[in-house]
Amino acid sequence: MKKRISMVIAGTALLAACSAPKQTQQSVSLANGGKVWASLWQQRAAEYKALCFQAYNLAKLRLDEALAKPSADAKPMAVVTDIDETLLDNSPYDAMRALNNQEYTLDTWKAWTAKAEADTVPGAPAFFKYAASKGVQVYYITNRDESEREGTTRNLQKYGLPFTDAAHIILKNGPSSKESRRQQVLAKCNIVLLCGDNLPDFDKAYDNKAPEADRMAATERLKKEFGSRYIVIPNPSYGDFEGALFKYNYKLSGAQKDSVIKANIKTDKQ
């Protein structure tokens, strides 16, 4: 009897082992685990929504102040904005990659942007539509590639955003620095506000793969601009802060990134 029971248990265990899915995926790295939590916060936290509303409420206040001031400049007013995580929410792409312990790749990113399915960042559409209603032009300066124009334009037009023509959607066609593209807009318009989630969206001081110390120093130097001309939208998932941490080595493996994170994060000393 005992022998029969043992055979049944062994057979059941073998059947379970055969039917269980194979674990081919390694454990999620700290870096990707952090992106999962960041995406969850972006999608589910009322605090994230509140911070975005706060940023765009402040943007409206600053725009109204600029509109109320008499100006001898004959050039029209403009606001300049980034797109990703400033206007469009790409957290579904980030979450999909991170949950599968996969890094960003340009091919998968372009497949995502081609779908034109990104939702909007809270408060963003209302602000840019308000700016347009006041005669203020909106320029979208993004580091999406020229090959992403069609999907990007469809995604913006899906939400009725203003100035979604080729002249106002300025994609990357060369260096990732946005300074020359901002200068193109300045030649035609008076830029009263810049909106972004990544500090190179605002100032050339953050260009050229600036190390962490230089980024911190520039932020201290420009502190009066934040909340005045520079409106920052929260994005804990990715950006140049991540690049600076990893010394802009985008070929690091998950394990290598984890080593850098452990070496640099402050923890309570037990």
State how far the Cα of 162 lies from the Cα of 125, in Å rounded to an integer.
Answer: 9
CB atoms within 10 A of CB 71: 11
The per-residue pLDDT for 26 is 58
The position carrying tokens 């804990």 is 236
Q: Is 113 within a domain?
A: yes
Given phi > 0 = left and psi -120 to 50 = alpha, else beta, which region is 135?
A: left
According to DSSP, residue 174 is labeled: S
Q: Is 173 within a domain?
A: yes
Q: Is 136 within a domain?
A: yes
- Res 5 pLDDT > 60: no
The per-residue pLDDT for 71 is 78
The per-residue pLDDT for 11 is 43
Full residue range of the structural domain in which residue 194 is found = 28-264
Band (pLDDT 50/70/90 cuts) for residue 269 is confident
- Under a CB-based contact definition with an 8 Å cutoff, are residues 182 and 163 in contact? no
Q: Is 19 within a domain?
A: no
List CB contacts of 177: < 8 A, sequence separation 6 or more. Answer: 200, 204, 207, 208
- Res 6 pLDDT > 60: no
Band (pLDDT 50/70/90 cuts) for residue 9 is very low
Q: Which of 48-57, 65-74, 82-91 has the lowest mean pLDDT?
A: 65-74
State how far the Cα of 254 lies from the Cα of 137, in Å rounded to an integer.
Answer: 42
What's this model's pTM, rounded to 2 decimal places? 0.89
List CB contacts of 25: < 8 A, sequence separation 6 or more. Answer: 100, 101
Band (pLDDT 50/70/90 cuts) for residue 221 is very high
State how far the Cα of 173 lies from the Cα of 152, in Å rounded to an integer.
Answer: 15
- Res 4 pLDDT > 70: no
Q: Per-residue DSSP letters for 59-122?
A: HHHHHHHHHHS-----SPEEEEE--BTTTEE-HHHHHHHHHTT----HHHHHHHHHHT--EEPT
Q: What is the mean pLDDT of residues 177-206?
A: 98
Q: Is 23 within a domain?
A: no
Q: Is 5 within a domain?
A: no
Using alpha carbons only, give the angle 84, 85, 89 rounded to the nearest 5 degrees.
90
Q: Is 126 within a domain?
A: yes
Which CATH number belongs to the domain containing residue 64 in this structure?
Answer: 3.40.50.1000
Q: Is 117 within a domain?
A: yes
Say how many domains are in the chain.
1
Percentage of the chain exceeding pLDDT 70: 90
Q: Which of 24-28, 125-129, 205-209 has the lowest mean pLDDT?
A: 24-28
The per-residue pLDDT for 10 is 41
The position carrying tokens 């206040």 is 61
